[in-house]
Amino acid sequence: MEIREHFRITGTALKSWLIAQAYDALVVGLFWLVGLLLLGIPFAPLWALLGALFQFVPHVGTILALVGPAVTGAISGGLEHMLYVMILYALIITIDGFLLQPYLMRRTARIPIWASILVPLLLGIFLNVWGVVLAVPLLAVIYAYRSRFRGTPR
């Protein structure tokens, strides 16, 4: 196999992963927007946009996406509003982590749902943060090579 073929396979796999991440960010941003608008949180479109952009930063980004809306909710409506924002956050990350991301990775990057849930957890245990950050892009590349060598089209 030529080096160009390796670059093509790897590039295609990483492109598929990035597309899945972009879809995920878009849906999470929409979840934030709808939820924050329903809660009456000021600057909801800004917080939703930041929430979508922070989706590209694995695990830490979701926490960063919470800070602005939670503080704004506390300032504008007291601790009750902040609690509602935190409940919204818990719903969003649960739906995203267990349903949306595995589904998108399966559809765009051809990563099985079980692998997109278990491998980040296992690599996180062994390699800490770097294992979690690199798990899904590595899975995309591994499954691209797997389908290439099995002769199945991507």
What is the mean pLDDT of each successive set of 10 residues along the chain, which is 154 residues long? Answer: 88 90 95 97 97 86 94 95 97 92 82 83 87 86 87 58
pLDDT of residue 152: 56
Best CA proximity match to 88, nearest among 12, 8, 34:
34
Query: Tokens representing 146?
Result: 């797997």
Phi, psi of 65 (to 5 degrees): -65, -25
Please tell me the distance from the alpha carbon of residue 125 to that of residue 123, in angstroms, as a whole number: 5
Residue that the structure tokens 């939670």 belong to: 70
What pLDDT shows up at residue 129? 82
3-state secondary structure of 1: coil
Distances (CA, A) of 56 to 5, 12, 26, 72, 104: 28, 18, 11, 23, 14
Per the structure, the complete domain to which residue 136 belongs is given by 3-150
Q: What pTM was computed for the model?
A: 0.81
> What's the burial of 130, exposed, middle or buried (CB within 10 Å: 0-12/13-18/19+)?
exposed
Report the C-alpha gap between 82 and 71 in whole angstroms: 7
Residue 124's pLDDT is 86
Number of domains in the chain: 1
